[in-house]
Amino acid sequence: MKRNRGFTFFDLFLLQIIVGLIAFVTIPTFLKFQARSKQSEAKANLKALWTAEMAYRQEKDIFSTDVGKVGFEPVRGNRYQYNALGNSQANLEQRTGTVADPTPGRDGIAVDVFKYAVSGQFVSGAYLCDPGAFGGAAAPLFVGGAQGQLDEDLQLDVWTISTADRAAERSCLGLGTTVPAGTPYNEYDDVDN
């Protein structure tokens, strides 16, 4: 009868190397996939902002940078800062406690730091197409923006959406592929860079 002797030290060492190689290959892919799923928040909320602005324009014949007035209210727990005018943090609805800031005239929504702690100070980045309402009633145009920190580097993930077709060459007026109106565009991809 043959005696079963179990695992040797070499067998366990070989198993540890194999598991380590699998982790080395799969963990970066998983982290990138996780960051991509976080980007879907920005795309969905920018579409909601675009829809709210289009509905407001149908009723009032102009666009507004007051997110409360147009009815843009993303659910709590947002990882992105949403701007309807510029990239300033001065006039944003702050989400630091359990209750949202009801002050009227806000031109954006801040990152929900009550749910997601922002490491260090969240510093707004620059948009290539600055958010805002332009052109008045004669030639109305609205650009909305979102920016968020998906990893620990200094660069932010930056998205914009517009009520008019625009060029997609990392500049607001550049030449190249056209981004249709109402389509979120990733100005700076923090996942791949």
Interval 118-160: pLDDT, tens: 655 566 777 877 888 887 766 788 999 999 888 777 788 899 9
- Would you call 147 helix, strand, or coil by DSSP? strand
* Domain-embedded: residue 157: yes
* Domain-embedded: residue 9: no
Structural element, H or E, at residue 70: helix 67-70
* Domain-embedded: residue 18: no
Q: What is the pLDDT of residues 4-36, one digit of tens each?
A: 777 888 889 999 999 999 988 888 888 788 888
Q: Residue holding tokens 């843009």? A: 72
* Domain-embedded: residue 56: yes
Domain that holds residue 64: 40-188
**pLDDT the model gives residue 125:** 72
* Domain-embedded: residue 193: no
Q: What is the pLDDT of residues 44-61, one digit of tens each?
A: 999 999 999 999 999 998
Which phi and psi angles does 191 have, rounded to 5°?
A: -75, -45
* Domain-embedded: residue 14: no
**In total, how many domains does the chain have?**
1
* Domain-embedded: residue 61: yes
* Domain-embedded: residue 114: yes
Q: Which DSSP category does 38 fall into?
A: H
Record the pTM: 0.80
